Amino acid sequence: MPDWDDLRVFLAVARGESLSAAARRLKCDAATVGRHVARLEEALGQPLFAKSPRGYALNGAGERLLAHAERAEQAVNEGLDALERGGGGLAGQVRIGATDGCATYVLPQVCAAISRRHPELELQIVALPRVINLSRREADMAITVSPPQTGRVLVEKITDYHLHFAAARDYLEKAPEIRHLSDLKAHPIVGYIQDMIFYPELDFLPELGLERVALASNLVAVQMGYLRHAGGVGIAHDFILPFAPDLVRVLEREVSLTRAFYLLRHAADQRVERLSLVARELVAGIRAEVARLEALAARAGLAGRLGGGTEGQT
């Protein structure tokens, strides 16, 4: 029978598609990973990977073993979860993948609160401006703006969030007046790099008739930097605006966008109580934090209008 350590390494190589990627995940060297793979293949009497300079790809035998190895992994995780829960609190490592806007402006405070309640937990946030690959175990769970149409994953809608055009006060004081959407053609637009938009829900500008982006980035935080340094006008998440008090909403009565966050989990993980409890706290925390931040943004916008903000722009 194969050794569990060999199967664990096999899963890491299958998900990382190389010895070096598996070694980084397992915190060992590539030579050790290679020895485990060779030992497993010898025990089974057949190769499990098609090996090339580009990496390791599962062959037919490897694909057949993968499902069984994942079930073994699930059983081990459930056993460890039962032991950890026996200690009376949540413990162990949980890796959360998220879009960079959520990862930068919402998750830190939510995860910090969860950590205070469960100090034995190790929470990791993986911020990527692309789709998190759960099948390769890049994360235990992921927060996305686009629910998958295929795959064995659990999908839960977390909350809606809202977006508006925004710009820096300094920029608006010197730039041409903005009263209607058509006026934006006279302004530099801040947005995403078009061929690096991995979620169709984030392709905001074409539907608003704005094709050219003067200042672009694949990261929301960089786009916010452009706006804060008077680079132009761009779409901003309402939940980010409290972190950038020098920005004000523009055309908010004419343009208001709504998107949603979803929590994705491996279908098999619903039986791991530790992950289910973390997911529950994560969903509740994100809902509350997005609502809190959007309320702050709304109050700041109202105060700006009552205080005589730039006419037609706030």
Does some domain include residue 115?
Answer: yes
**Which CATH number is 15's domain given?**
1.10.10.10
Q: Which helix (H) or strand (E) holds 4?
A: helix 4-16
In a domain, residue 299? The reply is no
Pair 266, 128 in one domain? yes
Asked whether the predicted pLDDT for residue 298 surpasses 80, the reply is yes
Q: Which range, 128-137, 173-182, 298-307, is most confident?
A: 173-182
Q: Do 130 and 151 fall into the same domain?
A: yes
Asked whether residue 312 is assigned to any structural domain, the reply reads no
Bridge pairing between strands 189-191 and 141-144: unpaired
What CATH number corresponds to the domain at position 203?
3.40.190.10
Which carries the bigger pLDDT value, residue 79 or residue 4?
Answer: 4
Asked if residue 303 belongs to a domain, the reply is no
185 contacts: CB under 8 Å, gap ≥ 6: 210
Tokens of 110: 């939510």
In a domain, 67, yes or no: yes
Residues 149 and 266 in one domain: yes
252 and 267, same domain (yes or no) = no
Give domain status of residue 313, yes or no: no
Could you give the CA distance from residue 283 to residue 159 in angstroms, rounded to a whole number?
8
Query: Does one domain contain both 191 and 126?
Result: no
Query: Are residues 105 and 244 both part of a single domain?
Result: no
Together in a domain, 151 and 274: yes
Do residues 16 and 40 touch, judged by C-beta distance below 8 A?
Answer: no
Q: Are the beta carbons of 190 and 227 closer than 8 angstroms?
A: yes
Number of folded domains that form the chain: 3
In which domain, by residue range, is 61 found? Answer: 4-85
Give a yes or no: residue 283 inside a domain. yes
Q: Are residues 114 and 151 in the same domain?
A: yes
Does residue 214 lie within any of the structural domains? Answer: yes
* Residues 207-256: tens digit of each pLDDT: 888 888 999 999 999 999 999 999 999 999 999 999 999 999 999 889 99
Does residue 268 sit in the same domain as residue 155? yes
Q: Determine the Cα–Cα distance for residues 220 and 202; give it in Å rounded to an integer.
A: 11
pLDDT at res. 81: 60
**DSSP conformational letter for 145:** S
Convert the pLDDT of each residue in 26-82 to its tens digit.
888 889 998 998 989 888 888 988 888 888 888 988 888 887 787 777 667 656 665
* Cα torsion angle, 290, 286, 237, 225, sign: positive
Cα 39 to Cα 36: distance, rounded to the nearest angstrom: 5
